[in-house]
A and B are shown apart, each in its own frame.
Chain A
Amino acid sequence: MPFPSSTASRRPRALRPPLAPRNHRWPALAVLSVGFFEAQNAAAAPPILSLQDYRAFRSLSVDLQGRLPTLSELDARESSGFSLNGFVDDRLQAGTYASTLRRVYMDRLRLDLSSAFQYVPAANTLRRYAVTTESGASVPVYFRAGQRRQRPETDGVFCLTEAESGLRFPPNAAAVGTAKPVSQAALDAATVLVKPWWLYRDYTTASPTQRFGSNWPESTANFLPAPLLLKENGATDTTFVRVCREEAQATPTGPVMLTRRTPVASGISPPFGRYSQLPLDSGYATAHPTEVLDCTSGLALPNSSACGCGQGLERCIPGTTYNNDPPGFVLPTNSVLGEHMPLGTATGSRSSWSRYWWGEEAAQFLERSFGEDRDVRSLLVGKGTWVNGPLAAFYKFGAGVSWGTGREQAFAYTSPLPVIEPSALPSLAIHDTDSWLPITDRGPNAAGLLTMPIFLTKYATRRARAHAVYQAFLCKDFVAANVALSPSEDPDLAKRPGCSGCHTILEPMSAYFARNVESTWTWLPISNFPVDAPMCRKQGNGSVNASCPTFYDSSFATTSSSFLKGAYGSPANADRGPAGLGADVAASPDFARCVVSTVADALMPGGLGEGDSLASASFTKTFVENGYRIRPLLRAMFTSDIYRSTSNLSSAAWRAAEAP
């Protein structure tokens, strides 16, 4: 018996003479029709398959399953009971096509950020310096840059002084000096031992015991701290970490810290071996001396010594060095096959941790939306999303920490609206990298992909965001008209000669994003940032309030009006936000046509050309009449003559011409 049983049924066929000569003539167009498939099924004998049949089946497998057919699938294709329509329906039902569509839309939107985009908020980034203990051991001590402390020597900087450690600690650089043993008393006064979240699954309990790797659930399979976070000196398992005392605090709120220090004259060296002078009271602290701050807000770090990283340091992401963007966790370097099948892994930086999960949110959103056959318009208007542990932690603790200390204080907007309502977040531990749970409603401003952090940072400006939507969901682009550019000082690009050709469309579209701060995801509510803010109008002497240019466009300010940045193209669109843009685009007839065209481009070489207008209209009609769901569209495409003929490589498939 030379063959295993799984291939035995193929043997006679393998030895038979070719069933269909190459370049033979197909009997009629009916060969390519769906009806022919069913006629084949009705026959009792195994079908006689041609090379074209095999190629078509192979194409179906690649597009529907993302891989070649297996030997057993080929056996099934050759059996008498095989139904090609049934095969298509089974695969559509199983959702195996979703990875293909994820690839198609990720190719269009390219939702991944390069390392040039650094996200290292001081408020939730833990760095570390190594100090020497009395026993001579080198021990890393974790700290937050800018942490306020009651002890002046270390206020705003690392928690041990040069006098105590023999070292000076320049920002984001290696310690300078000759280390000397830190006395145990000094170490105990400035630091504490903590069982942190990255080492203990049960870090929220009083005495955590479930250390990393010991029977952690499957949902944490891709959670992998960098080796230096797991082992001291690369050898001994770390069971505690030493953290500056203030950072280890777990209280949810902290009072404003007021020192009433006065500025130091220039030329005077900082005291205590510091690289910077002692921090002064911020304007906010001076104005709100009795306020109690939320420790998850951006105001907490620079204004309160009572706020730390929370229980088990859960509000902070650790790094293994003192650098600005320190390495922390092992992450996939490429996860195009899904986060469960990375093509490589490497220790990533603090920024990588956030960037990777933001990008994965969009990829999961696309794959799950298509796989579950949801209304495709939800890509633009959907209120829901899916999150895993790291994303839930980001939305709960991290999304607001970069806000509150700037010009927004003048607009009484220091606590930004949450990107996702905390009450909507599922109960996931930050380690649950592999557990993705749905969120049905992120909040009133949510709009599919358009309000996800990855989209708002990848396309950092309002115009870039509008352009991405215009390209990916309307299949249009901006092409400059062939006109002479005459000099103009008109700030309205929709009116400037030469610019207006594109900006007449682009500026009103950009205005939808006027309330999403550029380069980030913070939402500017109408109550604090009306399109026309009286305080930002030009004053009699022509000047503008110093707090306004950050948010309001000085070029359009007059003594009787002002414009929120980016809103001048359409104040109404600015107030409707990305949800308004999503609704308008989804309602456009071009949207459905664009989805059909985008999918066809991926499934059929050359896509749908001018000669396929009838088919294109038919596909679009099927798509729209079935509630903008992808499965009916895919079924129509996969069973169409056009799809069947895309893998027809023979240039000699001649048929008698119809009467011209």
Chain B
Amino acid sequence: MNVALCPRMAFRGVIGGFAFFAIGALAGCSKAAPAEPSSNLETVPVTSIPGHESLLEDTSRKSEARLIPQETLIRNYLSIFGGLSPIDLQTRLRAGSTNLFDSWTDYLGALGFPNYESDLPRASRTNALMLASFERIGVALCDKAAEADLGKNARALTDRTVFRFEMPAAAAPLDTQGFTQRFDVLHRTFLSYPVALAPSDRVTNFFALYKDILARHQARDAGVFTSTPAQSAWAAVCYGLVRHPEFHLY
């Protein structure tokens, strides 16, 4: 990397006006010098500038995370939540009286699917409506999965689709280790890596969420809810993962 001799030019855009004047004065550059560098300025290696001899340079390619293609998102929903066809899953989500899910067709535009008929391109960035759709679909999926896997008529462990772990006995609260073991199953399912590699506060935050929901439900009359406290608490954990940015980006 080479820079022009007058540091004012090289650092101008980076360090702002105050430093510009200071460095400019130190280097003896004139205030009346032209604003843009001319092509005949002498250049030197950046490492020859005092203080830059051991400069580290990040040579790796950098890029922002991408939004998972919309088709992949739907396939992920389908594969994680039971391997049903889109129509069958829609039927299951609409069953009962929760009214949490409308139809896939209603969400396609909000999810950013392209519309070839109308020549509308695919959305490659998120927006508020898209995030709201992630939320709504995720809540519906998690509620139904929690009901089937952890509800009063829970499936056998081997038949579960999302919550593939045993629940502790009703009277036995989960400790951090017990929660982490179970949360790791969900973390790997949704985010594709062990929670041990996640930011250090992830378990703490999700465990706090779990305990909060659990406590709120336990504090109310059981007849108020159709779900058990643990079922609701795990469903809330599922909400957090299914709408997590790491679930939607790659």
Contact = CB atoms under 8 A, between A and B. Distances in A.
Contacts of A71: 164, 185, 188-189
Contacts of A606: 63
A417 interface: no
Interface string A314-345: 00000000000000000001101100011111
B194 A14 contact: yes
A605 B60 contact: no
Contacts of B196: 13-19
Interface residues of B, number: 67
Given A14-B196, A54-B197, A660-B2, A4 B74 contact: no
B72 A655 contact: no
A321 B246 CA distance: 50
B116 A50 contact: no
Given A54-B193, A68-B76, A343-B104, A648 B61 contact: yes
Interface in A72-115: 74, 99-100, 103, 106-107, 110-115
B56 interface: yes
B184 A341 contact: no
Interface string A12-46: 01111111101000100000100000000000000
B114 A107 contact: yes
A18 B203 CA distance: 13
A66 interface: yes
A67 B76 contact: yes
Given A58-B192, A67-B79, A334-B113, A604 B68 contact: no
A165 interface: no
Interface string B59-72: 11111111011111
Interface in B20-52: 45-47
Contacts of A646: 61, 63
B64 A605 contact: yes
Contacts of B118: 114
Given A62-B68, A344-B104, A657 B59 contact: yes
A656 B188 contact: no
Contacts of B72: 62, 66-68
Nearest to B106: A344
A68 B80 contact: yes
A3 B45 CA distance: 59
B164 A344 contact: no
A55 B250 contact: yes
Counting chain A CB atoms within 10 Å of each CB, the highest count among B2, B61, B119, B190 belongs to B61
A9 to B, nearest CB: 12
A344 B91 CA distance: 11
Contact of B116 (A13, A18, A106, A649): A106
Contact of A336 (B2, B71, B185): B71
Interface string B192-213: 1111110110000000000000
Nearest to B69: A103
Counting chain A CB atoms within 10 Å of each CB, the highest count among B90, B118, B184, B195 belongs to B184
A282 B117 CA distance: 38
B161 to A, nearest CB: 11
B99 to A, nearest CB: 18
A604 B63 contact: yes
A57 interface: yes
B63 A114 contact: no
A379 B9 CA distance: 51
Interface string A646-660: 111101011111111
Contact of A334 (B105, B157, B184, B192): B105
B198 to A, nearest CB: 8
Q: Which 5 A-B pairs have the closest CB atoms?
A: A657-B57, A112-B116, A54-B193, A14-B184, A344-B105
Interface of B: 1-2, 45-47, 55-66, 68-72, 74-76, 79-80, 85-87, 90, 103-105, 108, 113-114, 116-119, 121-122, 157-158, 160, 164-166, 177, 180-182, 184-185, 188-190, 192-197, 199-200, 250
Given A4-B160, A14-B181, A66-B75, 6 more contacts: A59-B250, A62-B68, A106-B116, A334-B113, A606-B63, A649-B64
Interface of A: 1-4, 6-7, 10-11, 13-20, 22, 26, 32, 50-51, 54-55, 57-59, 61-62, 66-71, 74, 99-100, 103, 106-107, 110-115, 333-334, 336-337, 341-345, 359, 604-606, 641-642, 645-649, 651, 653-660
14 contacts: A1-B166, A4-B157, A4-B160, A14-B196, A54-B192, A54-B197, A62-B69, A62-B250, A107-B121, A344-B87, A648-B62, A654-B58, A658-B57, A660-B45
